[in-house]
Structure 1
Amino acid sequence: MAAGAPRIFVSHLSGIAVFDPAGDQVGRVRDLVVMLRVGRKPPRVLGLVVELPTRRRIFLPMTRVTGIDSGQVITTGVLNVRRFEQRPTERLVFGELLDRRVTLTETQEEVTVLDLSVQQLPARRDWEIDKVFVRKGRRSGAFRRNKGETLTVEWSGVTGFSVEEQGQGAENLLATFEQLRPADLANVLHHLSAKRRAEVAAALDDDRLADVLEELPEDDQIEILGKLKEERAADVLEAMDPDDAADLLGELPEADKERLLSLMQPSDAADMRRLMAYEEHTAGGLMTTEPIVLRPDATVADALARIRNPDLSPAHAAQVYVCRPPEETPTGKYLGTVHFQRLLRDPPYTLVGSILDDDLQPLEPDAALPVVAGFFAAYDMVAAPVVDDSGALLGAVTVDDVLDHMLPDDWRETEYHLDDAAGTTGEVGAGGA
């Protein structure tokens, strides 16, 4: 940005694309790294935390930024792809400075930080935070952001950023990342401090938190669940996919597990206990107990209405399972599967019992993971029924569950090799060591 250009509010930088000089996108902005200074001097912006397509987070020094225009960041093309590690003297703007309670120096009134602006210093390549956008009044609940007068003040006009806050809010951080997919929001939470992670998790609604928990590493799942009130922890577990919730419960101490199960709805708790009875790396341990089940006299129109549910994952919506009553797992006799492509080809009034795919043998609940994976590979399936000896449908395994258990335990942290095509060097900036 040229000297004298308008200031940029950091909320406008969240998630914007980062391009090299050739116009190739190299990642997206996930945070800003600043260094607080003594007295009332504005913090210096050290650089950006950029998430690469591989989900690795790297540090991009501001000296490598040649422009921030039209919702994009342009770099010199020289990137250090070493994983970003925050240093003790550094602060993350989204992760640590937004939503803080600070004090106006003129009136000694407590206010909440909604946004910060950054500006490039004249005739230099340095950047600093120059303004603070705040809201007066007591902090309201999450997402209630329209109460109280708002104003923009100089950085020197507030105090309190250097003190660690015990009750830092999360609504503005959540608003910043509200469009992220659960897997991407999980990645954001994983890189926050434990304190901030707990605050954000507490502010998420149950369904959103459940979706995010399913994408987090096991240690993060246990940490977050342990900081929730027990009644809410039980509600979140109920909102998770049964197989993911059962896996998480299985990692808890026996007393904690039983206490949470006792707080859940009896039907949900029964599903959890049934899933935990199977070995983890078997079809029974991998399956969900909530596939789409229809009676043979249901129509194609009925089936299409069920798979249109936006809360279903693509794998769960790929097919319906036709069974004799009862339709809740474990069902009556399993008759066969109808794939969604077949549903699209037949008239709406067609009975699903007349268009069954019953050629493939269903999985047995004790089928080992390699057998399950081989089934998916051999028949190009994205989901498969699990049926017991009596012929009742117990649940369904989806390909994403198979991949989760076949990849290394730390697969979310595993990085793929990045070539040097973008002019990467071994240069290290602040936060890059």
Structure 2
Amino acid sequence: MEELKQAFYEVMYKYEKSFGETGVMANLNEWAKNKAFLLDLLRHHPGWDEDAKAIVFTFDEGRGIEHDVVDEIAFTMEDLAADQIKDEQRLEDFRISLRTAVSEYSSTLSEQALEVIRTRGGIKCATGQKTSRIIGKLCRQFGVDGHERYNAVFAQLSDSLNPLQMLKTALLSLHPCDFLEMSNKDNTWISCHNLENGSYQAGALSYMTDDVSMIFYTIDPGTTDHFYRVPRRSRQMFFYKDGMLFQSRLYPSDLSEPMDLYRSIVQKAIAVCLNVPNRWLLKKKREDVNTYCSSYEGSRQYPDYNYHGNVSLLKAIPEHSHFVIGRPSLCVCCGRAYRSGYLKCNCEDVVVCKDCGQTVSMRNARYIDGAYYCNACLHICGVCGGMIQGTMYPAYDRHGHLVEICESCYQASLEPCAACSVRGICRIIGNAFCPRTAVSVVEGGAR
């Protein structure tokens, strides 16, 4: 729990939010209690990462074949064929073969389509062979490859029939900070749950502390830990209880192909964890979907699941009822339930000092280098007056008083004086009479 607390602090520092240990622990304890079932369930998956509190997937996500693009390029290829093939029957055979090859809009072809191409095109083609390779054979068989534009048009047609594959990492997560960062400000997109200026910031806490919410999100490959820190390429909420899996809206764009892919990934993961067949009944009609879930009284999440998404019903479980999404948000400062869209109620603004770990009034702290430090842990440089957290060096000012100086001023005080050639005498007399020197450093070290 200590690691989760420090990670929670890290996110609060990132967004310069008020927060206290009492409020953070209230949320984490509620998370641990209500997410206990889901944590136990997902731990049965072979891809579970205990530190990430998530199942980690690696998969290829492809760009779908666009029918209009394939058709347009295929028509262009037919025009090239008309320039090259002078015999009408041969031209007709080529056209039928080409149209058969592209009509299934697939990177491979059915046996029925292959038989037509063998008969009309007069070429050998095997089951599982790439559609683009078969088209290349056809073009060579009929001499279309001799056209001056052939290479460019064939390359376009080949690309359109072979979707681009992108390696991605995805997580089905229960980590508290993945809920806090469900709309990470480092994304190229944000939603209303963004902690920087979103109007539903408290919704991140409501999702975090209920017993059904999971976050599914994709990131670029390469990250191996602290996944909550990196930008999301896409994100959506899944809710699971008693054989019912609800897939909510996909951000940043609700496209059908990734929706289907992500749903299949999560369905299979849940089935693996339950050790049951991966067989589901999908319901998409709004009047059916809305009967399976509702929002918890007083929860603060934006209920986009009321307008977007679908429900999958696990066939291994004979009866399905109803589940409730969200919980009342708990103030990150005092830990009490409240009813606003932000992370805290109207209690005093407090922060946790990164140095000493004490919760102090925000009035008695400063935000420096991405974190809060209480005044007791800060130092004021005797030369530049800067508020410094970190190494300080002892020195004497012109009046002989012992002061502290920052590293930059310390290094500057050791530089040879360019104004005269009696630096050695300056050190002996303590710089008391030199108007160009603010302090004389104390020999022997830093504090």
Return the TM-score normalized by structure 2: 0.22
Task: Say which structure, 1 or 2, has more relative contact order (CA 8 Å, 6+ apart).
Answer: 2
Give 1 or 2: higher helix fraction. Answer: 2
Greater Rg by CA: 2
